[in-house]
Copies of this chain bind each other. A is one copy, B any other.
Amino acid sequence: MNDIDVLVSEVGPRDGLQSIDATMPTDVKVAWIRAQAAAGCREIEVGSFVPPSILPQMADTADVVREALTIEGLTVAVLVPNLRGAENAIAAGAHKISIPFSVSETHSLRNLRRSHEQVIDEVRGIAALVAAQKTPPHFEAGLSTAFGCSLEGPVSEDVVVRSAERLIEAGAAEVGLSDTTGYANPVQVKRLIRRVQAAVGKKHITGVHLHNTRGLGLANALAALEEGITTIDSSLGGIGGCPFAPGASGNIVTEDLVFMLEAMGLKTGIDIDRLIAVRDIVRAALPNEPLYGFIPEAGLPKGF
């Protein structure tokens, strides 16, 4: 992070591809990851270690991790649902592993089929495994549905804060706030970041995962930046994240986020033109998937 101000963490190869029925061939995933790293992306979530019976699109994650590890300067991140997944991630050599913790317990039981207690137990197990490694990966827990849940509705901020404390106590190095449902607004983003920072310390919360389902993705990202957040997740072309409707993508579009940051004078290390060119790889492999984004359509401002 020495030469950049904000780390844009690409989640498309994981969050994007796992939401799509088609399975992208391994060599295309690797070509995408290579091209995006070459455009300057420093961290990419390349897959998730879930049973192939649940997400066949992610069955090749170990192979993708091994290829991605050969890319100079790239932090190779993966998602894991449990200790078993973490074991596989560590065996493959991932630099960073994230586990989702759904603040809405209804959502947790439906999506992960686990109660809060059970996920905390997994976190304890993963933390012990991580600590036993010679070169331990960075281990993070993502607070899903932190800004509201489409099943429960509003989510208690006290529960978010308490969950963050418990995850850090259980051994996660860091927690992130995820607007899984696209419910967040800038005032809430600022308030919740401040509350979690106060509870666990600023160094234990540096990232957010925001959605653009209701069009507020970049406004919420701006709010997060103003509270000192330095890592923002996004997805090339906005793919993934349960899109509701045409134009209403789930994830923040990487191209638009990078444009906003660079226009604000914040260095991302990413070349926007080369980033936009990466879309060609995804479009060719997934011709039926819409790719979102304003900057790829409108172009950069004259003289930018």
Q: Mark A residues whose CB is within 8 Å of B.
A: 148-154, 181-183, 185-188, 212-216, 218-219, 221-223, 244-248, 253, 256, 259-260, 263-265, 292-295, 297-299, 301-303
Contacts and interface: CB of A to CB of B under 8 A. Distances in A.
B247 A294 contact: yes
A215 B216 contact: no
Contacts of A223: 222
14 contacts: A182-B301, A187-B265, A188-B263, A214-B295, A215-B260, A215-B293, A215-B295, A216-B256, A218-B219, A219-B219, A222-B222, A244-B299, A245-B297, A247-B247
Contact of A298 (B219, B248, B292): B248
Given A215-B218, A219-B221, A247-B247, 6 more contacts: A150-B301, A153-B302, A183-B301, A219-B222, A246-B247, A246-B297
Given A153-B301, A187-B264, A303-B154, A215 B248 contact: no
A292 to B, nearest CB: 7
* Number of this chain's copies in the complex: 2
A56 B183 CA distance: 42
Contact of A185 (B148, B264, B303): B264
A122 B181 CA distance: 51
A100 to B, nearest CB: 20
Nearest to A259: B214
B219 A260 contact: yes
A298 B218 contact: no
Contacts of A260: 185-186, 215-216, 219
B248 A214 contact: no
A303 B298 CA distance: 36
A242 to B, nearest CB: 10
B245 A148 contact: no
Contacts of A294: 212-215, 247-248
Given A185-B260, A260-B186, A214 B298 contact: yes
B247 A297 contact: yes
Contacts of A181: 301
Contacts of A151: 302
Interface centre among A244, A246, A247 (most CB of B within 10 A): A247
Nearest to A186: B222
A182 to B, nearest CB: 7
A195 to B, nearest CB: 16
Nearest to A183: B301
Contacts of A256: 214-216
A77 to B, nearest CB: 25
Contacts of A152: 302
A244 to B, nearest CB: 4
